[in-house]
Amino acid sequence: MSFDPVRGRASKGWVSHTPSIVDRLRPCADGLVPFSVEFSPPRDAAAEARLWRAVREFERMQPAFVSMTYGAGGSTRDRTVRVTGQLAAETTLLPVAHLTAVSHRVSELRAMVGAYADCGIRNILVLRGDPPGDPMGEWRKHPDGVEYADELVRLVLDLGDFHVGVASFPEGHPRSPDLEHDTEYLVGKLRAGAEYSITQMFFDVEHYLRLRDRVTAFDAEQGAKPIIPEIMPITSLRSVRKMLQLSGSALPRELDERLARAAGDGPEEDRAAVREVGIEVATTMCERLIREGAPGLHFITLNFARATSEVLANLGYSVHARA
């Protein structure tokens, strides 16, 4: 395989034999569905060591694929490409590289895709990203960049033999005027060539089911593409509330109250009690998602294996992680 950084595309005739994510979404024989996990780029050497402990734990559990999020800063980006490349070269895992358009001109986006191609990565989750600095602020595209994720989907696919996924939002993207427009824009990304979507985290399975219904009603062909639910096993109320601020998702009131009761009134939340509720809720959600025909389960891990492996063990997957 070779990628021409000047022309910004894979050399003619390059065909990668890396499996696509959709190839990996075959139902398991025991009534379970494939599972996958999301990692985040480590910020320093200690975080990188922790990430690799989690990677090796998950490697034993044979997830269908693993994804690596894409951060804002330049040095994080270099580390992201390096670590994602190592996942491809030094493990048995199938990596999906996230890529955002934030602060990038088109030539830089091409170079990033090239860097991933050179590491043997063919699966890319294409995202627009949020404004740098203040993620809730006004989005301004780079003057030489792209405005929406659908343009980036086309750009990546034009560069060579890649398999692309996109983000979907069961409760609607926070910047979408309404769910109808939100559905239209998601379908636009799928029509641009994305093969599947991974959802934002959610805590009411109904939101996922209604998203699936909306996409199918809007465009049956695109509605047939897998919508992979993203599951967050809650281990800290404070951090999940922070993560939710940006996401467009919310904790249902009853669950929020239950977690608050578990967290207690002390200066530090009772992490063990919160975690117990979080694991139970994630397990119940996954059981329902499997019954409702979800094509897979994608877990946010925060680079720890234990919470996800506990949920998987509750569901009947034969896994056991140490940390």
Ligand X SMILES: Cc1cc2nc3c(=O)[nH]c(=O)nc-3n(C[C@H](O)[C@H](O)[C@H](O)COP(=O)(O)OP(=O)(O)OC[C@H]3O[C@@H](n4cnc5c(N)ncnc54)[C@H](O)[C@@H]3O)c2cc1C
Q: Nearer Cβ to ligand X, position 136 or 323?
A: 136
Q: Which of 209, 163, 158, 167 is nearest to 188 (CA)?
A: 167
**Backbone phi, psi, residue 227, to 5°:** -110, 105
Which token pair is 107?
A: 């030539």
Question: Residue 90 in contact with residue 63, Cβ under 8 Å?
Answer: no
Rounded to 10 deg, the angle between the 45-61 and 74-90 helix axes is 30
Residue 187 as a binder of ligand X (CB under 6 A): the answer is: no
Residue 271 as a binder of ligand X (CB under 6 A): the answer is: no
Least Å distance between CB 218 and ligand X?
13
Restricted to residues 51-110, the positions that interact with ligand X (CB under 6 A) are: 69-70, 98, 100
Name the region of 172 (left: φ>0; alpha: ψ -120 to 50; beta: rest). Answer: left
Restricted to residues 200-229, the positions that interact with ligand X (CB under 6 A) are: 200
Residue 182 as a binder of ligand X (CB under 6 A): the answer is: yes
How many residues in total does the chain contain?
323
Which token pair is 89?
A: 């070269």
Residue 191 CA to residue 214 CA, distance in Å, equals 15
Least Å distance between CB 312 and ligand X?
19
Q: Nearer Cβ to ligand X, position 57 or 230?
A: 230
Q: Nearer Cβ to ligand X, position 167 or 312?
A: 167
Name the region of 8 (left: φ>0; alpha: ψ -120 to 50; beta: rest). Answer: left
| Of 162, 185, 202, 299, the one binding ligand X by CB under 6 A | 185
| Of 64, 93, 149, 231, the one binding ligand X by CB under 6 A | 149
Q: Is 38 an annotated catalytic residue? A: yes
Least Å distance between CB 299 and ligand X?
11
| Of 148, 250, 252, 258, the one binding ligand X by CB under 6 A | 148
Restricted to residues 123-142, the positions that interact with ligand X (CB under 6 A) are: 127-130
| Of 51, 55, 109, 167, the one binding ligand X by CB under 6 A | 167
Size of the site for ligand X (CB under 6 A): 22
The CB density around residue 107, as the number of other CB atoms within 10 Å, is 11
Residue 230 as a binder of ligand X (CB under 6 A): the answer is: yes
H or E element at residue 167: strand 163-168
b/e string for 204-213 if b means 16 or more Cβ within 10 A? Answer: bbebbbebbe
- Contact positions toward ligand X, by CB under 6 A? 69-70, 98, 100, 127-130, 148-150, 167, 173, 175-176, 182, 185, 188-189, 198, 200, 230
Question: Which of the residues are catalytic?
Answer: 38
